[in-house]
Amino acid sequence: MKKEGSLKKKSAAWTKQDYHAFWNQLKKAKEEDFRLFSERIIKTKYPMLGIRTPLLKKQASCIAKQDIDTYLEVSEKTYFEEILVQGFVIGKIREKEKLKQAFLKFVPQIDNWAVCDMVIASLKRVAKEKPYFLAMVDALLSKKKTFYIRSGLVLLLNYYVEDAFLEEIFRRILKITSKEYYVEMAEAWLLCECFIENEEKTYTFLKESVSSFSLLSKTIQKICDSYRVTKETKEKLKQLKNQKKEELYS
């Protein structure tokens, strides 16, 4: 194994022995301080090793040059980093149907914002097949589980925020009933990016269609935190928030 953690194997296919040898070597890159930091900001049922993300992404790229299918078959679910690498490897799948099926199979393992957001950001194939992957988005949004819904929202955030898809995004947000924190924060983040893409359309949506004051408040806060929005526009949004608050509590 080289210093950067790559594994030389005799064949492209992965065996359990290869997998354990690979991770035994990769564990040498763990950092205790980084593990403690990660545990403070990421709540997950999986224990953490403390291996930095750039190295995990690099290993996923190496695995993709060998054999993705057998790696995923022998993959284990003991550590947070193992889950993350599985997701990054799935992101390397080029065939769209195979990618969709692999990701949907992977989603039940997501139990935190970091795996959700980082893995979805690696699914670059979605950007090239937006209409095709909308069915996958809808399948995720239809579930009642927090990180299924967040996954659908983060897919929209990463790959669909453009004028042609704004109405599709708004329509889907209106169907979401979950008030879970990680869902609402993803909705707010998504709507913030929609606002920056098309201020007029998104302002109208916030004013006329968003009935949840909690979501409206989080969205306006996200927009006001952005340096891409003018001071005047931020004031306009704060006025909208105050108006909605008065209507709700008067």
Q: Taking 90 as the threshold, does the pLDDT of residue 181 lie above it?
A: yes
- Provide the b/e sequence for 166-185 (b: ≥16 CB within 10 Å): bebbbebbeebebeeebbbb
Indicate the burial class of 39 (C-beta count within 10 angstroms; 0-12, 13-18, 19 or more).
Answer: middle
The DSSP result for 223-235, as a single string, is HHT-TTS-HHHHH
DSSP summary character for residue 45: S
Instruction: Spell out the domain ranges in the chain.
Output: 1-111, 129-250
First to last CA, the chain: 67
**Tell me: the pLDDT tens digits for 48-98?**
999 999 999 999 999 999 999 999 999 999 999 999 999 999 999 999 999
Quickly tell me which residue has 């169907």 as its tokens.
175
C-alpha–C-alpha distance, residues 90 and 99, integer Å: 7
22 three-state secondary structure? helix
pLDDT band at residue 248 using 50, 70 and 90 as cut-offs? confident
pTM of the predicted model, to two decimals? 0.93
Quickly tell me which residue has 């795996």 as its tokens.
115
